[in-house]
Amino acid sequence: MGDTVEFAKMNGLGNKILVIDMRGRKDRVTPEAAIVLNAHPDTAFDQIMAIHDPKADGTDAWIDILNCDGTKAQACGNGTRCVVQALSAETGRKAFTFQTVAGILNAQEHEDGTISVDMGKPVFEWDRIPLSEEFYDTSRIELQIGPIDAPILHSPSVMSMGNPHAIFWVNRDVMSFDLERFGPLLENHPMFPERANITLAQVTSPTSLTTRTWERGAGLTLACGSAACAAAVSAARTGRTGRTVDIKVASATPPGMLSIAWRESDDHVVMTGPAEWEWSGTVDPSTGAWMRSDATASEQARAL
């Protein structure tokens, strides 16, 4: 095994996260390493959160985010909570400021162990989401799947939370839809030149939603924080709920809850939820070769 760094296998509501410590280094986690890591059942993940030295004054770290197919991601709210928990355990600090390609994120760990992440302002302009066609009102666009006279899904709300999202409103259990079949078609629809995260959302009360997400570059995931934010904002924007909602992530095991507040004062979206450490190890960021910190010699050999 070559030059290695420490990493932690974590999750945010079941959203599988690898937090990799790249501080003090100039290289990056390669797409090839990401694909190798995802191919092993022990290290399969939805996103890698690679922590790098800060690039901007006033920030604590630059976070490089990779999907399980090796592509880059702009935002990952559940992964950001995992980074906060990891750094808080290391430093004893509770508040952090991160920089990603999507912008600056402020985050804080609370006394009860939950973590709030300021995901910034939502973007509604069609060319900034982006969409391939102009829509004046992106709270409902013309897009459907299924028969023209009886579509299975239609008229999504679209927006960006640093990454593109399409929220399809449904009137029955989100788990009853074959999202594994529809997700790839919609993610790669010509309407979305940079692809999109596809979420099914059911309004269950004026202050609650249930969601399920097909995640761009990751597929059917147990949870997606930025999608939960997009669903909450879209629900408020279309008058389905108020600006503060609890979101039940139906596909999480067991189903988990996120609290989302779209603040009126500055239009920022704040997501609050848990993060969980599972185990730690070391990894070669170039090749993806890894081993658990507590592994036996035979287990190490299998991992490599």
Nearest to 64 by CA among 97, 34, 33, 100: 100
Query: Quick check: helix, strand or coil at residue 232?
Result: helix
Pick the catalytic residue from 68, 82, 224, 229: 224
Place of tokens 């010509």: 190
Residue 82 appears among annotated catalytic residues: no
Pick the catalytic residue from 68, 76, 82, 229: 76
Cβ–Cβ under 8 Å, residues 262 and 236 = yes
- DSSP H helical segments within 152-210, as ranges? 179-187
Q: Which residues contact 244 (CB under 8 A, 6 or more apart)?
A: 207, 259, 260, 261, 262
Q: What angle do CA 99, 105, 109 make, to 5 degrees?
A: 120
* CA–CA distance, 21 with 80 (Å, rounded to integer): 13
Preceding amide of 130 cis, omega within 30: yes
Q: Which residues are catalytic?
A: 76, 224
